[in-house]
Amino acid sequence: MNTEIRIYMADLARYNSGHLHGVWIDATQELDDIQDQINTMLEESPVKDAEEHAIHDYEGFNGYPLGEYEGIDSVHEIACFIAENLEIGGELLNYYLDIDEAKKNDRGKLLWVL
């Protein structure tokens, strides 16, 4: 299992012109650091004034499906939950499909459900 929890943030202006430009970002780091990396990627875009981005790939979320336009706050919260609960974090999220519900439940409840 890959324990690195990261997202590939793509520059949509460059993508829409038929080219890839983006960056892999550790989703468990501080929110400001994540946003700084997104901003740097957009500033380095070959397309002038690029400002739109989307998640085009992700790893380490243990099967939990992230949306292309998932908010950075949400991605960070989900990534940190999985990092803190490596053995079952992804399974809890997949079962409950809601991070608040997943946080309320413990290992015993998950094992009973499985």
Neighbours of 10 (CB within 10 A): 20
Give a yes or no: residue 60 inside a domain. yes
Cβ–Cβ under 8 Å, residues 28 and 5: yes
Query: Which amino acid makes up residue 38?
Result: I
Per-residue pLDDT of 87-106, as tens digits, reads 788 888 888 888 888 888 75
Range of the domain at 96: 6-113
What is the predicted pLDDT for the residue at 112?
Answer: 46
pTM of the model: 0.84
Give a yes or no: residue 21 inside a domain. yes
Per-residue pLDDT of 44-77, as tens digits, reads 999 999 999 999 999 999 888 999 999 999 999 9
What is the predicted pLDDT for the residue at 1?
Answer: 44
Number of domains in the chain: 1
Give a yes or no: residue 1 inside a domain. no
